[in-house]
Amino acid sequence: MGSIFNAQQIVNGLQVGSIYALIALGYTMVYGIVRLINFAHGDFYMIGAYASYGAFFLFNAFFAGKTGILAFIVLVASMLAGGLIAMLANRLAYRPLRYKPKLSSLITAIGVSMFLEYFFSALPMIGPSYRSFPDILPRVEINLGIATISNYVIIDIAVAAVLMVGLTILVRYSVLGKAMRAVSQDKDAARLMGIDIEKVIGYTFMIGGAFAGVAGLLAGMTYPRIFPYMGIQPGLKAFIAAVLGGIGSIPGAVLGAYIMGLAETFASAYNSLIGEGIAFAILILVLLIRPRGLLGEKTADKI
């Protein structure tokens, strides 16, 4: 067989885990603050990819050759697009149902997800088929002896790491971060403290969406194909990763995402069918054995 646990696979696993982490963070933050599984989150990822695609071609004419500036532009584009759509979805579809039974929000989220996917698929200039993502940065192979990696691996992991550190700083030290944590723990108490709940929720969606958008850009660059349904699989896996780590927990989402990335890479290397199913196997195991996840908190219902 040869060991599947070699350095090459580990690196691949960390790479895909980084992308999952960015998506999973959005799921976990939104769930933590409004207890909603945002089915449409994977589609913010897709929109980020398309937005950066569009931005690239739009600005390529002006900044041809200036890769640094172009890279910055597409990054901003992906974050803006992801964040904006997330905020819109929250404002138009989720906020009206905030105090109705949770199932209504869940079904609405399904509707939003379907809408985004089919809408992008139906637009003639986007269409349902695959599109090749341009090489914004030149691909370079780096030989490390134990493995050969492309520079994209480093980019993916590095960008994700920087964003995750930024988020941690935000959540821990900023006023918004404190407000987010307060609203997650007790909405009513937060309101009584003078916190504008809906604003905080809006920002949470925006940040989560922006992260998903960046993930879409990275994915587009790395596996250079984008299509309107590209958010379904990664979205589902990132969600499972968030559940594995403990939904609502930010470190949990990151932990779960990297475990998922590695597990998936190793499993696929062993057998592609098992690779497809590993995500679900993890979900079933988590829900049956430890539903609160690795780092999640035990919630007790008052009866």
| Residues contributing to the site for another protein (CB under 8 A) | 35, 37, 93, 96-97, 100, 102-104, 106-108, 110-112, 114-115, 118-119, 121-122, 124, 127-128, 239, 273, 276-277, 280, 283-284, 287-288, 291, 298, 300, 303
Q: How far is the CB of 277 from another protein (least distance, A)?
A: 7
Q: For residue 31, which amino acid is it?
A: Y
Non-local CB neighbours of 117 within 8 Å, separated by 6+ positions: 43, 46, 228, 229, 231, 232
Give the nearer residue to another protein in terms of CB position, either 178 or 292.
292
Give the nearer residue to another protein in terms of CB position, either 175 or 300.
300
Per residue in 24-39, is it b (16+ CB within 10 Å) or e — as a string? bbbbbbbbbbbebbbb
Q: d(Cα 17, Cα 238) in Å, to the nearest integer? A: 9
Q: How far is the CB of 209 from another protein (least distance, A)?
A: 18
User: Cβ(117)–Cβ(43) under 8 Å?
Assistant: yes
Q: How far is the CB of 27 from another protein (least distance, A)?
A: 11
User: Cβ(25)–Cβ(164) under 8 Å?
Assistant: yes
Nearest of 43, 36, 44 to residue 94 by alpha carbon: 36
Non-local CB neighbours of 56 within 8 Å, separated by 6+ positions: 70, 73, 74, 134, 136
Q: d(Cα 223, Cα 256) in Å, to the nearest integer? A: 22
Could you tell me the CA-to-CA distances from 198 to 98, 111, 123, 179, 302 in Å, in that order?
Answer: 10, 22, 32, 11, 26
Q: How far is the CB of 124 from another protein (least distance, A)?
A: 5
Q: How far is the CB of 94 from another protein (least distance, A)?
A: 10
Give the nearer residue to another protein in terms of CB position, either 174 or 272.
272
Give the nearer residue to another protein in terms of CB position, either 2 or 124.
124
Q: How far is the CB of 108 from another protein (least distance, A)?
A: 4
Give the nearer residue to another protein in terms of CB position, either 52 or 108.
108
Q: How far is the CB of 240 from another protein (least distance, A)?
A: 8
Give the nearer residue to another protein in terms of CB position, either 166 or 291.
291
Give the nearer residue to another protein in terms of CB position, either 58 or 273.
273
Contacts of the segment 100-104: beta carbons below 8 A, 24+ positions apart: 102/35, 102/36
Q: d(Cα 291, Cα 283) in Å, to the nearest integer? A: 9
